[in-house]
Copies of this chain bind each other. A is one copy, B any other.
Amino acid sequence: MKFFDDIEIGQRREIGSYTFTAEAIKNFAAKFDPQRFHLDEEEGKNSLFGGLAASGWHVGSACMSLLVADGRRLAHEATSRGEEVAVWGPSPGFRDLRWIRPVLAGDTVSYVNVVVDKRVSGSRPGWGILAARTTGTNQRGEEVYSITASAFVPMRTKGG
């Protein structure tokens, strides 16, 4: 992961795709969101979604898993180049979480992350706060998901 100093507003990363199979949709829903339109094809068809639809929490959690995997890839590549890797802190919050369109069984959602803001933390010396917007787009090019998240990102230690 990058240091605060090395991140620029506007930076864009494709972080990967996730295919929402009927099985994955039902498994997630059975545990965390057992509403009928997330569990059964017919119920989904008869709902406002028009098909077996993934739980919004599934869409968000899948996005999170891709963000983490992408962060690992970046860290691995940086380490391979002999660069120091920053260890990011936790997220102090999300905003503007939007499920714009249903994600139906068989849909593949591609997620893209764009840095939208950065500022120095007032409460934690040596840390900055980064805001990035992640959007998910289905195989028809329709935006289905959007979230803006902030994260604590360390600054390079002076002389470190």
Contacts and interface: CB of A to CB of B under 8 A. Distances in A.
A79 interface: no
Interface string A41-70: 000000111000101110011101100110
Per assembly, the copies of the chain total: 2
Interface stretch (A2-10, A88-96, A111-119, A130-138): A88-96
Interface string A18-60: 0000000000000111110100000000011100010111001
B57 A61 contact: yes
A48 B152 contact: yes
Nearest to A88: B35
Interface of A: 31-35, 37, 47-49, 53, 55-57, 60-62, 64-65, 68-69, 89-99, 102, 152
